[in-house]
Structure 1
């Protein structure tokens, strides 16, 4: 089965390839890379070549000349593009900050700006995939993942599935903190969890092992909460008030003032850091002198990237270093591999994915993309029923979903009114006047 990776020059592509090499089930027989930046994809292909060295049965890799060539014959398509590159991300962060509101690539005004730029390109990919590989499953990594998956689903229906590593990371960290045996976590007959929301806006509301609910005991234990990232980010008092464990990105909503204070006068935004770090990596890699040197440089750069993830939120919550467990990298790769195996093997595996809502959250439209626990088989991913949402959870979901749908509408129809509505109605943008100025400046600097 052929796997096509769009955005094949992306820095994290080697994580996916490493997972494929380690896969005893050999779901993939060939990897095809496509990227609009020839230099980047050539460097990443060299890293993959180094990973394949000495492997008894390496997965062949080739670079496609164009999008259509990359899509033809694909069984699975990973879409992991970054429209506008890191320069676009910097603008998405700096323009809102200049107006006193958070700018982040998936959250707030920055997420809306990124979505406006990305949705038209994602729709074009969906249309070409439908024409050239109608039986392929498209797995969307591209941020803002929920919004982009929703746009692509207008063309591909249920054959596009969005993935994110934040929910599975939360489940894994919470279970470890609650004292669950790691081996038990891999056994679906022993473990269960209830997670629901939107991408980068969801809650873990139940975690069971052998029928015993673990979450109340974990929430009552400050020492256990202090042993993992979300516990440190939100603090025991607030987590007990919520009665659930939020996705890490909800820190931007619940502690918006503290996070804004930590980033407002920052010398370097996350986008600026990645622009310098990854730009430097690709420049040095081109002159590194062979796969071994390129791979070593990539691994050092990857570790630094992981160590600095969500640094401003960690600073706003007291300042602390990430755990070694969370510096291994990956997450997306493991979710994607599990998803492919579940589809190919018709296994009924449970995964947290971004899919069409159906009746999971009755207050949302059936075609709205939600992030929740799904059962995956040959038919794709089917969302499982979940307990009713609390009013505060539902209210936030409804408001952010309105923003996402307005952003897709604005991108599709070049509708300034829809774009203004998306920005102004976002919970992290507190003024239509501010939203209008952000939109105007973004248009001028595009």
Structure 2
């Protein structure tokens, strides 16, 4: 019999944790988790206790021998861990509100993983995750680090380039959401559909779509060209694609592509919400408050269905699937963020990409796609340049690199505005940017 595992979740007080717990409960027969250790920081202590208590009720109801531990001691939590999952938000939701509202003040997209807001989430997060990776290397060097923290592409890039811990995988709920939605639109079960995904996190393209092994890409593109039949997510305005554009591009788009191919339309939509004080971050803060009120109910012993409104549905399921496939050496195909290793010919060998991989006990093995279509290669190259320069800025605290990264990003319209939004966001987040504080007067 294979040994049971200990899983440590950093950011255990997250509203997503009940989904993670549900995922481990329903897979217990194939993934025996003896201990799930939920760890958080002092500011998250109350939420951690609420979530931890709910998790214990869920485990008791399910009748599985999984011990739930809550702690603020990260190093102790890492001891003997086989897998470490990270789902943090440095600065909590108030920081996300600033990431969204400040860029909008300058007339540019305000979003938590794209543009200026996404870069600042990365600047705050990367130094913390590199410190965690260092602790994993010292305390539980054989453990896999499974990161859900956004911006997952930039974060995975930084971990692969600047950490000595190489057992790192970034996960996202976007690929599974796309596959499930397209299967539904085509009237087939999700299991019958396979999509050849390639690109970057939140810049992911479906190159080919197969149903029962048969290429159905052109039929899927035809369906997706209908403005009523779109792949949407709760956190992104569902603005329909121009049918002629969708057909001409010839690959499946993800919802985040709207920020790049429909920038003005998305900005106009965001500015309306901004004026009403209803940016996505502010909506999420209200939703999260409501969720924690639900979680406090001593009668609640399941993941409440309201959690899916939070925008991260299936996030935890993706992580549980990945952990189970590594543990069981399944050899199945999943879409994750890993080192490229030549899978996408035009991107550096050592860069992070989001791509289909065969999942083995040695970790994910990327499936080569060769050369990208010329129609999508340019944007992928531009965003990869942005991620690399922004990751370097996060590690060095370089003002110049941060400014350069913003100027590279297509959602930032000029160098002058880049400097203005950079200075404003640096000041707004100075509490969480110690490297920059040493070099910039704020």
**TM-score after normalising by structure 2:** 0.88
Select the residue among 287, 297, 304 that pairs with 1:299.
Answer: 304
Residue 325 of structure 2 corresponds to residue 342 of structure 1: yes
Partners of 2:337 and 2:146 lie apart in 1 by 10
Partners of 2:307 and 2:213 lie apart in 1 by 39
Unaligned runs of 5+ in 2: 233-237, 430-442
Q: How far 1:273 moved relative to its partner? A: 1.6
Residue 359 of structure 2 corresponds to residue 373 of structure 1: no
1:156-167 paired onto structure 2 within 5 Å: 156-167=164-175
Partners of 1:49 and 1:224 lie apart in 2 by 46
Change (3 A) 1:300 1:161: closer
Partners of 1:224 and 1:15 lie apart in 2 by 33
Select the residue among 276, 287, 292 that pairs with 2:286.
Answer: 276
Contact in 2 for aligned 1:158/1:380 (Cα 8 Å): no
**Match for residue 385 of structure 1?**
368
Contact in 1 for aligned 2:225/2:244 (Cα 8 Å): no
Contact in 2 for aligned 1:7/1:34 (Cα 8 Å): yes
Contact in 2 for aligned 1:429/1:435 (Cα 8 Å): yes
Q: How far 1:181 moved relative to its partner? A: 3.6
Residue 187 of structure 2 corresponds to residue 179 of structure 1: yes
* Residue aligned with 2:61, SS: coil
Select the residue among 7, 11, 15 that pairs with 1:11.
Answer: 15
Contact in 1 for aligned 2:136/2:165 (Cα 8 Å): no
Partners of 2:164 and 2:351 lie apart in 1 by 14
* Residue aligned with 1:407, SS: helix
Select the residue among 201, 204, 212 that pairs with 1:202.
Answer: 204
Q: How far 1:110 moved relative to its partner? A: 0.8
Q: How far 1:156 moved relative to its partner? A: 4.4
Contact in 2 for aligned 1:21/1:58 (Cα 8 Å): no
Partners of 1:76 and 1:333 lie apart in 2 by 14
Residue 139 of structure 2 corresponds to residue 132 of structure 1: yes
Contact in 1 for aligned 2:100/2:110 (Cα 8 Å): yes
Partners of 1:213 and 1:175 lie apart in 2 by 14
**Match for residue 407 of structure 1?**
390
Unaligned runs of 5+ in 1: 186-191, 307-328
Q: How far 1:330 moved relative to its partner? A: 3.5
Select the residue among 169, 178, 185 that pairs with 2:177.
Answer: 169
**Match for residue 440 of structure 2?**
none
Spell out, residue by residue over 1:118-161, the C-alpha distance to the aligned partner (whole angstroms, 9 max, x if none).
11111111111111110000000000001111212231454000
Give structure 1 regions of 4+ aligned residues with deviation exceeding 6 angstroms: 222-225
Spell out, residue by residue over 1:311-353, the C-alpha distance to the aligned partner (whole angstroms, 9 max, x if none).
xxxxxxxxxxxxxxxxxx7322222122112211222111100
**Match for residue 258 of structure 1?**
265
Partners of 2:66 and 2:120 lie apart in 1 by 37
Q: How far 1:241 moved relative to its partner? A: 1.6
Spell out, residue by residue over 1:88-123, the C-alpha distance to the aligned partner (whole angstroms, 9 max, x if none).
101111110010000101011110111111111111
**TM-score after normalising by structure 1:** 0.87
* Residue aligned with 1:196, SS: strand
| Aligned-pair Cα RMSD in Å | 2.1
**Match for residue 314 of structure 1?**
none
* Residue aligned with 2:330, SS: coil
Contact in 1 for aligned 2:118/2:151 (Cα 8 Å): yes
**Match for residue 436 of structure 2?**
none
Partners of 2:379 and 2:182 lie apart in 1 by 23
Partners of 1:375 and 1:422 lie apart in 2 by 33
Report how many aligned residue pairs link the two structures. 413
Contact in 1 for aligned 2:225/2:243 (Cα 8 Å): no
